[in-house]
Amino acid sequence: MKSLYTEIESRLSDLFQKADDTALYLTERVLNSMRENRLSDRHFAWNTGYGYDDEGRRIVESIYASVFGGESALVRTQIVSGTHAISLALRSVVKPNSHLVFATGMPYDTIHKTIGISGDSPFSLKAMGVRFDFCKPMVTNKIDQAEVLSKISSDTGVVYIQRSGGYDFRPAIGIDEIKSLVRVVKDKNPNILVLVDNCYGEFVEREEPNHVGADLVCGSLIKNPGGGLALSGGYITGREDLVNLCADNLTAPGLGKGLGLSFGTVRSVMQGLFLAPGVVASSLKGAMFAAELFESAGYKVCPRGLDFRSDIIQSIELASEEKLKEFCRIIQGYSPVDSFVEPVPGPLPGYDVDVIMAAGTFVQGASIELSADAPLKEPYPVYLQGGLNYYHAKLAAIKAFEAVEAFV
């Protein structure tokens, strides 16, 4: 008789094959970009001071732009996180006193203070006189286009899409859905910019949001595109004039992309990008495996094992605070780093409720490495993501499953 785990893998075999096919396709894209740009050993050296002639920095940005389908890219360690990339993009392209529409509902918690939904930062969009409208919360991965169009007014400058669900129990928005929304928004008014929070979505599908018409796309290097090797940083890709605005805002007007040291990060950022399609495929397989496993015991999961995916996140409703803590304890315990640490819920900058996090990672907080986290609220969904290889993701999912099931 087959074990439950083997049984699950056979049910998922077509989707595992599809993930491998996507990784092969994307590896070729990344490789071709590195070949065309003539990435070379000399780019891994770095200089000092202004970094005017930092060839490594230039080539990283050129390769990111071509891989992501943008005209230009800003890829910097000076962008400290995904939140910073998104905040920088918003504060660079949203005009004072204009209007902004959030097409996928309330954005991720850490963006709230940038918008001015909470806090009273003088640098928020609200402080710039920007008005905003939120579409209703997403429950499926279909955007209500009629609702988005109904919220657009003559002074709407930007429509914002969050691809991944973040801490919402909803599936990610697929590239086809983004493409279709871009089309209807541009039909209504071609001057409206579409900005995408691409966190956790990179390399899950064959195309990225810029390929289907999004103007600016933002994300974190310690998630998917860093492949587990990038030590820090964020990226913005898209239309050249808009990326230049972001660069002027990051450095100084007139300085733009022309300076800023790479601080020796070029090798790990490029090696991570090279590995990223494969790492993302491993993470996806781990997520599918966990989904099928927990659903087989009656837990509500999102997305379900065989569902369409456009990010690497797996949410599992554990329905009890004790089970949630146990789940996180096991994920931490089966991590290569800090396995002896007990995760405890606590406040986190940018979040309104206490958050519990299991992340025994080589790169602090890197959620392309296997990690689990959850804001402590009913019905206690946990968000599981990452896995540098499938074996680790599978092993930890099994251990967590056994522990949670043994729990009464």
Ligand X SMILES: *Cc1c(COP(=O)(O)O)cnc(C)c1O
Which residues form the interface with ligand X (CB under 6 A)? 81-83, 108, 110, 162, 164, 166, 197, 199-200, 220
Q: Provide the 10 A C-beta neighbour count for residue 108.
A: 20
- Which of residues 164 and 310 has its CB atom nearest to ligand X in the complex? 164
Strands 381-385 and 156-162: what pairing?
unpaired
Residue (159 or 404) nearer to ligand X, CB: 159
Query: Beta 234-238 vs 216-220: how paired, if at all?
Result: antiparallel
Cβ closer to ligand X: 197 or 292? Answer: 197
Give the shortest CB-294-to-ligand X separation in angstroms: 21
**What tokens were used for 359?**
């992340």
Do residues 169 and 204 lie in contact, with contact meaning Cβ atoms separated by under 8 Å? Answer: no
Rounded CA separation 364/231 (Å):
8
The distance of closest approach from Cβ of residue 113 to ligand X in the complex, given in angstroms and rounded to an integer, is 12
Classified as helix, coil or strand, 23 is: helix
Closer CB to ligand X, 162 or 314, in the complex:
162
Comparison of 87 and 262: residue with beta carbon closer to ligand X: 87
Strands 72-76 and 355-358 turn out to be unpaired
Give the SS3 label for residue 246: helix
In the bound complex, what is the minimum distance in angstroms from residue 200's beta carbon to ligand X?
A: 5
Q: Which of 396, 373, 245, 252 lies closest to 313 in space, CA to CA?
A: 373
By CB atoms closer than 10 A (0-12, 13-18, 19+), residue 49 is exposed
CB of 143 to ligand X, least distance (A): 15
Q: How many residues comprise the chain?
A: 408
Q: Kindly tell me which of 105 and 166 has the beta carbon lying closer to ligand X.
A: 166
For ligand X, give the closer residue by CB, 39 or 273: 273
C-alpha 381/C-alpha 387 separation (Å) is 19
Nearest to 346 by CA among 389, 312, 375: 375
What distance lies between CA 311 and its chain's CA centroid? 8
Beta carbon nearer to ligand X, 357 or 398: 357
Task: Say which residues have a Cβ less than 8 Å from residue 83's Cβ, sequence separation at least 6.
Answer: 108, 110, 111, 114, 350
Smallest distance from ligand X to CB 296, Å = 27
What is the smallest separation between the CB atom of 332 and ligand X, expressed in angstroms? 18
Measured from the CB atom, the residue of 16 and 351 that comes closer to ligand X is 351
Q: Which positions ≥6 away from 1 have C-beta within 8 Å?
A: none
| CA-to-CA dists, residue 364 to 180, 186, 223, 228, 380, angstroms | 37, 40, 11, 11, 24
The CB-of-402 to ligand X minimum distance in angstroms stands at 28
Residue 81 CB, shortest distance to ligand X, in Å, is 3
Q: In angstroms, give the least distance from the CB of 234 to ligand X.
A: 7
CB of 92 closer than 8 Å to CB of 256: no
Q: Which lies closer to ligand X via its Cβ, residue 269 or residue 398?
A: 269
Q: How far is the CB of 311 from ligand X (least distance, A)?
A: 8
End-to-end CA distance of the chain: 28
Q: Which residue is nearest to ligand X (CB)?
A: 82
